[in-house]
Amino acid sequence: MHASTARPRVLCILWHYPQLSEQYMETELRALSRDHELCVVSLHETESYLVSYREHLPFHVARNFGALAELADEFRPDVLHGHWLMVLPVLHQLARARGVPFTLRAHSFDTIHEADVGGLEGRWHARSREVLPVTTRDELCLGMLAFPFSRRYLEERGVPPDKIHDCLPVVDVERFLDRGPNGADVMSVGPCLPKKRMEDVLDLALRVPSRRFRLYAIGYGRLELAETALEVGAPVELSDPIEPSGMPSEYKRHAWMVATGCPERRTLGWSVSIAEAQAAGVGVIAARLRPDQADYLDGAGFLYTDLEEAARLVRGPVPDEVRERGFAVAQRSDVWAHLHRLTDLWMPAGLSAARSTRRPIERSTPAG
């Protein structure tokens, strides 16, 4: 660690930043910024089909390795840290070139390979058996954080078991925690991707006309979904993109949140929106895709196998005992409860671990 500062210096390498559907990353960055000096780098500019947000940290765009190396030389990091397995090749390349150790936090879509999904995911999974063993067995790799259910996928592709560290989603629970009364509406939220199968929300709305449905569909196929809603006459309100600071009050407008999903793809993971909803007192209903989902809900929500089952739940109230359990289960994903799982990995590099006491995460004024 540099003698000129007591704050460890962390170069954070992300695929896209700032992307509205990736608040997972933003929450971690803001928590780390309390005890660490950060340099945030995005490897790609936000594409037109994505949605960015204004309330983000300062960041750089490095369009090639040369630009990234220049940023690293200027910042002089003590450790490198990334999100998404797809950044591993460049993360490893920079680590080897500058002799700096690195960590990575995996998500869901980049680890689950139960279906031929095509696109970026498909291209990554085709390469992963070659990339993962080389990058993670390097002594400069201090470890990888991943959801518990991801372990078997990672080990199958050559990641050493001792390099995998189980961790829950990163959520700023304090922002959403509210035991006050909720509204009566039904919500769904997330990136509008085929794996989410958000058209099921339209079907639900037609089945349950007694409830008002609101869909926070982010980017990707949102316009096509809006056209479908008009064609079938589904009484669903499609919300415009909302800044992260506005979402806690949006959750409180609802009694239920429905997390739809495609049973053929089965690539949805442990969404942060589930923990956010639980903390806000919203009942959770999720498509049953894999057995591990029950571990995440932990009794604070329901899994459905067909839409009529989901409709039956939506028609009724959220059971008091399920709502109450949700407040406790959400706390497991609180960033201050498990941030140390990341910072403890940096100890061999001489970096001090961040304190894990609960402190509200500061929100800066819009950047850039």
CATH superfamily of 9-171+335-349: Glycogen Phosphorylase B; (3.40.50.2000)
**What are the structure tokens assigned to 56, written together?**
């983000």
Of 79-93, 110-124, 132-146, 231-245, where does mean pLDDT reach its minimum?
110-124
Predicted local confidence at residue 114, as pLDDT: 63
Q: Is the pLDDT of residue 127 over 70?
A: yes
pLDDT in tens, 66-122: 999 999 999 999 999 999 999 999 999 999 999 999 999 999 888 887 666 666 666
Q: Is the pLDDT of residue 361 over 50?
A: yes
Comparing 9-171+335-349 with 173-329, is the CATH topology the same? yes
* Banded pLDDT at 123 (limits 50, 70, 90): confident
Give a three-class secondary structure readout of 266-296: CCCCCCHHHHHHHHCCCEEEEECCCCHHHHH
CA 305 to chain centre: 24
The overall average pLDDT reported for the chain is: 90
Task: Report CA torsion sign: 54, 60, 62, 68.
Answer: negative
Predicted local confidence at residue 49, as pLDDT: 59
* 53 contact partners, CB below 8 Å, separation of at least 6: 18, 19, 20, 241, 243, 244
Q: Which residue has the higher pLDDT, 352 or 339?
A: 339
Q: Which residue has the higher pLDDT, 128 or 124?
A: 128
Predicted local confidence at residue 362, as pLDDT: 67
| CA 225 – CA 238 distance, rounded (Å) | 9
Q: Which residue has the higher pLDDT, 361 or 127?
A: 127
| CA 19 – CA 21 distance, rounded (Å) | 6
**C-alpha dist (Å) from residue 90 to 17, 63, 93, 277:** 16, 12, 5, 35
* Banded pLDDT at 17 (limits 50, 70, 90): very high
Q: Tell me how crowded residue 175 is: count the other CB atoms within 10 A of its CB.
A: 18
Predicted local confidence at residue 359, as pLDDT: 61
Give the residue-averaged pLDDT of 7-22.
Answer: 92
Task: Report CA torsion sign: 293, 296, 298, 300.
Answer: negative
Percent of the chain with pLDDT over 70: 90
Predicted local confidence at residue 239, as pLDDT: 87
The β-bridge relationship of strands 37-44 and 102-105 is: unpaired
| CA 150 – CA 368 distance, rounded (Å) | 35
Predicted local confidence at residue 367, as pLDDT: 47
* 51 contact partners, CB below 8 Å, separation of at least 6: 19, 20, 21, 218, 219, 241
**What are the structure tokens assigned to 268, written together?**
């949805």
* 3 contact partners, CB below 8 Å, separation of at least 6: none
> Are the CB atoms for 308 and 262 separated by under 8 Å?
no
Predicted local confidence at residue 3, as pLDDT: 39
Domain residues of the chain, as ranges? Answer: 9-171+335-349, 173-329
Predicted local confidence at residue 366, as pLDDT: 47
Predicted local confidence at residue 51, as pLDDT: 78
Q: Is the peptide bond before 191 cis (omega within 30 degrees of 0)?
A: no
Predicted local confidence at residue 192, as pLDDT: 85
Predicted local confidence at residue 269, as pLDDT: 87
pTM confidence score? 0.91
pLDDT in tens, 164-194: 999 999 999 999 999 999 999 999 998 888 8
Predicted local confidence at residue 182, as pLDDT: 98
Q: Is the pLDDT of residue 302 over 80?
A: yes
> Are the CB atoms for 41 and 111 separated by under 8 Å?
no
Predicted local confidence at residue 266, as pLDDT: 76
Predicted local confidence at residue 126, as pLDDT: 82
Task: Give me the architecture of the 173-329 domain, per CATH.
Answer: 3-Layer(aba) Sandwich (3.40)
